[in-house]
Amino acid sequence: MVKLTVELVVEPIMEPIAEPIVELTVEPRFKLIVELMVEPSYNDNHLSDFFYLDLSISFHKDIPPWYNLDFREIPFGVSKAASSFGGSDNATIFLIGGERSDSISSYIYSFNTKSFIWKSQPLYKSFEWLWDMKGVTDDKGRIYFYGGRSSNSRASSNKLQILESNILESLKITWFESSSRYGHTVTLLSNGIIVIIGGYVNDKSGIDKILLYNTNKSNWTPMITQGISLSERAHHTAALTNDGRIIVYGGIKKNSFDPNLVVLDTNFQPFKWLTPEANHPPLYGLYGHSANIVGDYMILAFGKFKIFDEEIYNRHTYLIDVRNYTWVSYFHPKRNADTTIQVITTQVITTQVVTTTQMITTQVVTTKQVTKTQVATTQVIKKQVPVYTVLQLIQDISIYLFKILGYILIGLFTFFFLAACFSGCKNRT
């Protein structure tokens, strides 16, 4: 497990399994599985796409280096599913729950990022298959899935279901007497506390009332946060920084005047909501998107936004520098001048993004050590002019202008119709 820190181009010993695609057109999708960037993905049509974003190199936000893994696509189309890393070496992606293209299943699916093999295993009867669950994995390999809604009754759940990812055994299921929810976020802090924020909650509480679960003591604690008061919010994202800040972005908000970007600082007791001053965001009203913090950047992708109540899929990728909440155009991986790459790769190189408490690693097979002048890395994807992004921007602006024109024409038609009616009435008199 070695972190790449250079960008030299050399010929690998074996052909990479997954080729970099400089201008991979990723189909827009809603409610992407947010915990991972190496992940299956889907939109309302229950896609089985499989791709990942290479974060070992610098890139412009308009040309993100996606790698296509169609040859290892998900065994079925799915949406509204939950996922998390786990396994004995934390190199396995687990996929569970959600709405499938075939039928409801009682299986949990896992993808090994080393062998590139999908496996399925029956779930214990005590584990409930739900839509819109959210999961996190602790340092013991236990996966905590909370909330969701039933595929039959559509009723939301207040269950916390715990799986031992090494053996896929259901350890226990705990309940919290209130706050059944879905469309929420779950964030695991370094002290073992799971923070549950927002969603469609049965008691209609805003996100200033959060729910905490202590994985060490196995107990629940509701918390009323301090700071600004925020209304209900669902289908947002929450990403944890290294210094204990949870950055919440977007979502469907009850109060449209609530800021898109808010920060929950867990260094305060009780936790405190902050509204940092950021430069103008490139897009308002994003929801159902994905967000992951890598180094100094939060990467936002996919989801939807609305223009005059019409839902439009987001095609773009956005970057926020979490040090100062600035929207930026380029991603740069952190460099370590003292680090020397000491492996030659013989199999596919895949970069994983998990949480900020885990290292960004590269899966490799070691053959021999090399010197500083004998470094092997993945192929470097050269930056290109983002022509297709300009076309997409023109398309979005055209849709917006056509809508405005439509409203103007409707207004004019209404005006002349009323004027004609008034004139007719006046002539009769």
394 confidence band (pLDDT: 50, 70, 90): low
61 and 330 Cβ atoms separated by less than 8 Å: yes
Going along 267-381, which residue ranges are E strands?
A: 272-274, 290-294, 297-301, 304-307, 310-313, 317-321, 326-328, 330-331
Burial class (CB in 10 A: 0-12, 13-18, 19+), 246: buried
Residue entry with tokens 């499989």:
50
Tokens of 255: 């109060």
- CA gap 170, 165 in Å, rounded: 9
Q: Where are the domains of the chain?
A: 51-331
Tens-place pLDDT, residues 304-342: 988 877 888 898 999 999 999 999 999 999 865 333 323
Average pLDDT over residues 143-161: 84
- Please provide the CATH number assigned to the domain covering 51-331: 2.120.10.80
**pLDDT at residue 360, as a whole number:** 34
Query: Could you report the per-residue pLDDT of 279-297, keeping only the tens digit for each?
Result: 777 877 899 999 999 999 9
Cα 38 versus chain centre, distance: 10
- From the number of C-beta atoms within 10 Å of its C-beta (0-12, 13-18, 19+), residue 427 rates as exposed
Look at residues 143, 141, 138, 239 and name the one whose alpha carbon lies nearest to residue 190: 138
Determine the pLDDT at residue 274: 95
- The Cα–Cα gap between 354 and 113 comes to 13
Q: Is 49 helix (H, G, I), strand (E, B) or coil?
A: strand
Q: Which helix (H) or strand (E) holds 415?
A: helix 387-428
347 token code pair: 């199999």
> Which element (helix H / strand E) includes 195?
strand 193-197
pLDDT at 7 over 50: no
In DSSP terms, 76 is beta-bridged to: none
Distance CA(191)–CA(301), nearest Å, equals 29
Pairwise pLDDT comparison (249 vs 128), residue with the higher score = 249
